[in-house]
Structure 1
Amino acid sequence: MSLDNTQRNVGFQPPMMPAAAPAPAQPSQPQPQAWPPNPNAAVSIRGLFKHFDRKIAVNGLALDIPIGSFYGLVGPNGAGKTTTLNMVTGLLVPDAGTAMILGHDVWSDVNTAKRMIGVMPQPDQIFDRLTGLQLLVYSGMLRGMSRDETTRRAQDLLNAFDLAGAANTMVTDYSAGMTKKICLASAMIHSPRILVLDEPFESVDPVSSANLKDILIEYAKTGGTVIISSHVMALVEKMCTHVAVINDGLVCAAGTVDEVAAGEELEDRFLQLVGGRHEAAHLAWLDGGQAQAQAPTSAQTIQPILPTPATPTDEARQ
């Protein structure tokens, strides 16, 4: 289902305040949903709303992610991408709105929804005192898989991610890139129908990154859905079939990459949609040392200090 800007975002009205005793400003409250979610989408979001104190993080966001798509979520820092993903994956309770995973309401049966998705954890969210193999086996058995099946899949993933040599090394001793890969592997071991990845290629070397991309693209071809949050526009433009630009907790544009780019480079289109770009600040003192190099030297001449000639003695005069 294609949504225009009017349909994508649910409007919000500020609460009415008594005229005699004005109350402190509070976050806007969402209106009831104007249209139902799409049960045929991999992920369907309607009127999702979340605030922290007085800051609105997600402001009535609405979005449909098709099954089998490689979907990119892009936006500036603080746009609401991670908060949205946390609500969709059952990690954060929304203040209002609906999120559906393959036709199942996330918050009506959060355990069913979680079984259908694989969420890539952040490095500080895993048990890094386990070895890589132990972490993968733990992740699989936690989802109800047998030890034998989990061990077999763990070995396959370790080989695919070039981590076989570090299978018995504690994760705390992994490099940043290796840790990123083991986190991704732990999200894939139960063969989820939807993968949710937050900056999966950060700190990963180019060779491993290329291998991971091949694995994810093949997974999407089999009918799996990949949702990736990233700041790297070139990566999103190359890998993703669809993209949504999020800013201030709302969807600015969504559709196929070509539809959103509208004949331009995706990065240029992104900057047009979110704004905020300005001319470089001109700092007079930030000149790469040119001022010092070009300073005139004639204003003050420094004379070398020479030794004073010795006065001839009387004996020398004779």
Structure 2
Amino acid sequence: MQNEKILSLRDLRMNFGTHNVLQGIDLDVYRGQIIGYIGPNGAGKSTTLKIMLGLLDDYEGNVEIFGENIANGDVSYKRWIGYVPENAELYDTLTAAEYLTFVGELYGMSRKEAEEKALALLTQFEMEDVFHQRISSFSKGMRQKVILVSSMLHNPDLIFLDEPLSGLDANSVMVIKDIMEQLKEQGKTIFYSSHMMDIVERISNRIVLLVNGKIAADGTFEELKEQNKEGSLEGIFNQLTGFDAHKETAEKFVQIVTGNESNG
């Protein structure tokens, strides 16, 4: 199972005007892997995800998902993909039941199946009492749970998660971490993009670091730690991105806030 290639990128390049966002990404992802896809803002993480999801098509290189080149115009591969975007838009005037049933039907589920499964999943988040309430009344955390359920309702084989824990409380974060681990054991492949280094460190069995549109590191946390002689993923990240001024920046920020700036 581990040798089954789910996703392959070859010399992936993307430009926005004169800005080279992706500069030749080569990456193979296999069934049952949780890929922690990290990098500073502007490194090209979200652009990579949007290309693989078919949301951007003006790219160079080759993208294969489930063995098929996504540039061939056949979008049937999307039926087996789940996606949690960083900034998701929901239909606020719909109830959770209406929205999730609608999403399920888009993926080919029957209305009855989608509604029953959506209720069962939201019940695990203790949201059964608001199943028929409008999403406009939901808190940020509740909305995020609806988005997470919508991404997995159709039992996808490949799941793209872009900052999926946004707005969730500590208990829910633990549940989502365990869900991802168990999905991996079921042979699901998860592409996880986040700035939360401690979470990425704990859940990923492979970490890919993108810097300036290029892969700067690719391996398990233990492999990256050995190569870079750092004890945490945050330390590895700072070393490989060349960012070592965080303490100085924080000190200056606090000095400005408190009015304790030195005149010298």
Taking structure 1 as the reference length, what is the TM-score of the superposition?
0.75
Count of residues paired in the alignment: 254
Q: RMSD in angstroms over aligned alpha carbons?
A: 2.2
The equivalent residue for 1:280 is: 248
SS in 2 for 1:42: strand
- Provide the C-alpha distance between the structure 1 equivalents of 2:257 and 2:158, rounded to a whole number of angstroms: 50
SS in 2 for 1:234: helix
- Provide the C-alpha distance between the structure 2 equivalents of 1:211 and 1:283, rounded to a whole number of angstroms: 38
- Provide the C-alpha distance between the structure 1 equivalents of 2:177 and 2:92, rounded to a whole number of angstroms: 25
Show the 5 A alignment for 1:26-105. Answer: 40-105=4-69
Taking structure 2 as the reference length, what is the TM-score of the superposition?
0.89
Larger RCO (CA within 8 A; separation ≥ 6): 2
Q: Which stretches in structure 2 are left out of the alignment for 5+ residues?
A: none
The equivalent residue for 1:153 is: 117
The equivalent residue for 2:150 is: 186
- Provide the C-alpha distance between the structure 1 equivalents of 2:53 and 2:98, rounded to a whole number of angstroms: 24
Contact 1:89–1:113 (8 Å) recurs in 2: no
Consecutive aligned runs of 4 or more in structure 1 exceeding 6 Å deviation: none
Show the 5 A alignment for 1:1-318. Answer: 40-262=4-226, 264=230, 265-278=232-245, 280-281=248-249, 283=252, 286=256, 288-289=258-259
Offset from partner CA, 1:137-166 (integer Å, 9 cap, x none): 110001111112111211121112222122
Q: Which stretches in structure 1 are left out of the alignment for 5+ residues?
A: 1-38, 292-318
Q: Tell me which amino acid in the other structure corresponds to 1:119.
A: Y
Offset from partner CA, 1:225-261 (integer Å, 9 cap, x none): 1111000111011111111000111110112222223
- Provide the C-alpha distance between the structure 1 equivalents of 2:174 and 2:75, rounded to a whole number of angstroms: 33
Contact 2:37–2:207 (8 Å) recurs in 1: yes
Task: Name the stretch that deviates more: 196-205 or 58-67.
Answer: 58-67
Contact 2:85–2:163 (8 Å) recurs in 1: no
SS in 1 for 2:32: coil
Contact 1:43–1:65 (8 Å) recurs in 2: yes
Contact 2:86–2:163 (8 Å) recurs in 1: no
Q: Tell me which amino acid in the other structure corresponds to 2:80.
A: M
- Provide the C-alpha distance between the structure 1 equivalents of 2:86 and 2:218, rounded to a whole number of angstroms: 26
Contact 2:86–2:164 (8 Å) recurs in 1: no
Offset from partner CA, 1:62-106 (integer Å, 9 cap, x none): 111121011110100111000000001111114201111121212
Contact 2:10–2:26 (8 Å) recurs in 1: yes
**Identical aligned pairs, as a percentage?**
33
